Amino acid sequence: MTDLVTRPGAEEVPTEVIDAPPPPGTTAPGDGDGNSPSLAWAPAEPAPRKRHLALWIGIPAGIAVVALVTSSLLLIAPGTSIAGVPVGGLTPGAAADAVQNQLAGTTVVLVGAEGDPEITGAELGATVDARALADRAFSEHPMWNPTTWYADPSSAAVGIDADAATAALRAAAPDLYADPVDATITFDAATATYIATPAEPGTGVDIESVRLALQAALADGDTRVELDATPAVVAATTSTATADASAASLNTMLDSAGFYVGTERTVPIDRAVAASWISVEPTGEGTFEITADAAAIEPAVAGLAPLVNRPAEDGTVVTDSTGDVLREVAAGMSGRELGDTSTVASDFAAQLSSGNAAFALPVTEVAPVITTLFRRIEVNLSEQRAYLFENEQVVQSWYISSGKDGFNSSTGDFRIQAKLASQNMGNPDLTKAPYYYTQNVPWVMYYNGDEALHGAYWHNNFGNQMSHGCINMPVDAAAFAYTWAPMGTEVSVHY
């Protein structure tokens, strides 16, 4: 049969009556005699769901483990320090901040200065490449690698801003400072020379000693360090050596100052005038700057033309039949014309600023006309006459006396090989060849061994053979030929 069994808070559920004994250890409802009506047992209540408490407790623990592992991948190992600053357990960024902050807060005490003033690293412009150091510390000593824990501290190079440090130190301890005096350069008009005035050193705090003190404090993990405040020598920005060298360079410029055509200083410039064009000023960086005034140079440029321009001078040369020059009668000289000078003043000013006082002028050369004179001597033994040719035109001709029979003059084409204004000929011992001796033979020109053209003052029988092989000429004719014919002049002797 079907019946309804209810339990508090439960819906009525129809069930079938089952004739079955009660569960062990229970009794069926009724009068206990076994004859009571049979009742159906309601189904047992569903088993309660298991509570996974351990799981809910384990999840946060797992997250914590993951977080711990993750953080170990981002943090610097315990026991790591950078220049005395502990950075273990920090990220590289936090470590960099810690190092820089400690340096910035480190105090330098100037012991011995009035009031023992104190200056911080920040006021001194102290810096350190903290981020690079932190990144390296993390790279070499990560937390996840226990073998890198508690490593030896790394060092750090401290930098310092010299200008900021000097300003802070001067403000804190003015009694330690005396300004140096830079070397200078002036032009002395009396000697027309640039003169250097020596520099004078000053005093102040040695910036490098401050930097080293900060670096030592950072390395030791100290935030306070004492430094002996004994004044140090402070060199001038512009040294005596620099001024001496610059003055010497300027004086060298004055020595060569001028307008040049080629290597010729065509228009020299007075030293004082050149110096008046130039300004010499210190740069503030230990050197001198040279500038020049183009407007001051312009009047000198305006007067250049008559000093530079010149006409060509023609020349004359004596040559042989091949064109080789035997003598330069007049050398000849090129002429020149000054070119465009519109930019000369500004160009020269720029050149002076670079240290060069020799200005090359723009000029046009005018070549000279060179006249060539081809000269030769011809001796006609049949005519007993000598001819002087210039460019194949006879310019002079005289009777001569050639070698008499037995001493006949040689024929052929020769060149003058030697010239003597006067010479004794023959042998003073007339018992020996050539059995004659003539003193002071004038205007001698040898052309073939011992045969020569020369003057003969001892006879006047020209046009006839008279000599021992030489060509005798009237003295005045020989003098003319001697002057007219250079060494190497061609001599032709023929019948």
Given pLDDT bands bounded at 50, 70 and 90, which one contains residue 26? very low
User: Does residue 291 lie within any of the structural domains?
Assistant: yes
Residues in the chain: 495
Residue 260 belongs to what H/E stretch? Answer: strand 258-261
pLDDT digits (tens, 9 = 90+) for 441-491: 999 999 999 999 999 999 999 999 999 999 999 999 999 999 999 999 999
Q: 296: burial class by Cβ within 10 Å (0-12, 13-18, 19+)?
A: middle
User: Does residue 383 lie within any of the structural domains?
Assistant: yes
Q: What is the CATH number of the domain that holds 456?
A: 2.40.440.10
User: Does residue 394 lie within any of the structural domains?
Assistant: yes
Nearest of 85, 63, 61 to residue 154 by alpha carbon: 85
- The alpha carbon of residue 110 and the mean position of all alpha carbons in its chain are separated, in whole angstroms, by 43
pTM over 0.95: no
Domain termination residue (choose one: 366, 383, 404) = 366
Whether 356 and 248 share a structural domain: yes
Domain termination residue (choose one: 298, 331, 366) = 366
User: Does residue 262 lie within any of the structural domains?
Assistant: yes
Residue 228 bridge partners (DSSP): 111
Whether 347 and 432 share a structural domain: no
Any alpha helices (H) in 314-375, and if so which ranges? 344-353
Residue 53 belongs to what H/E stretch? Answer: helix 53-72
Whether 246 and 362 share a structural domain: yes
Is 197:184 a contact under the CB 8 Å cutoff? Answer: yes
pLDDT digits (tens, 9 = 90+) for 236-249: 999 999 999 999 99
pLDDT at residue 49 above 60? Answer: no
Whether 353 and 437 share a structural domain: no
Tell me which residue range forms the domain holding 311: 242-366
Return the pLDDT at 28.
42
Residue partners of 286: CB distance under 8 A and separation at least 6? 237, 238, 239, 242
Q: What is the CATH number of the domain that holds 267?
A: 3.10.20
Whether 353 and 387 share a structural domain: no
Peptide bond just before 434 cis, omega within 30 deg:
yes
Task: Please give the tally of structural domains in the chain.
Answer: 2
Residue partners of 17: CB distance under 8 A and separation at least 6? 1, 2, 3, 38, 39, 40
Mean per-residue pLDDT of the chain:
87
pLDDT at residue 384 above 70? Answer: yes
Return the pLDDT at 481.
98
Residue 278 bridge partners (DSSP): 292
Whether 349 and 459 share a structural domain: no
Domain termination residue (choose one: 337, 366, 395) = 366
User: Does residue 480 lie within any of the structural domains?
Assistant: yes
pLDDT at residue 221 above 90? Answer: no
Residue partners of 259: CB distance under 8 A and separation at least 6? 265, 266, 267, 269, 300, 304, 308, 359, 361
Return the pLDDT at 354.
95
pLDDT digits (tens, 9 = 90+) for 120-175: 999 999 998 889 888 888 888 899 889 889 877 777 789 999 999 999 999 999 99
Nearest of 197, 77, 214, 213 to residue 137 by alpha carbon: 77
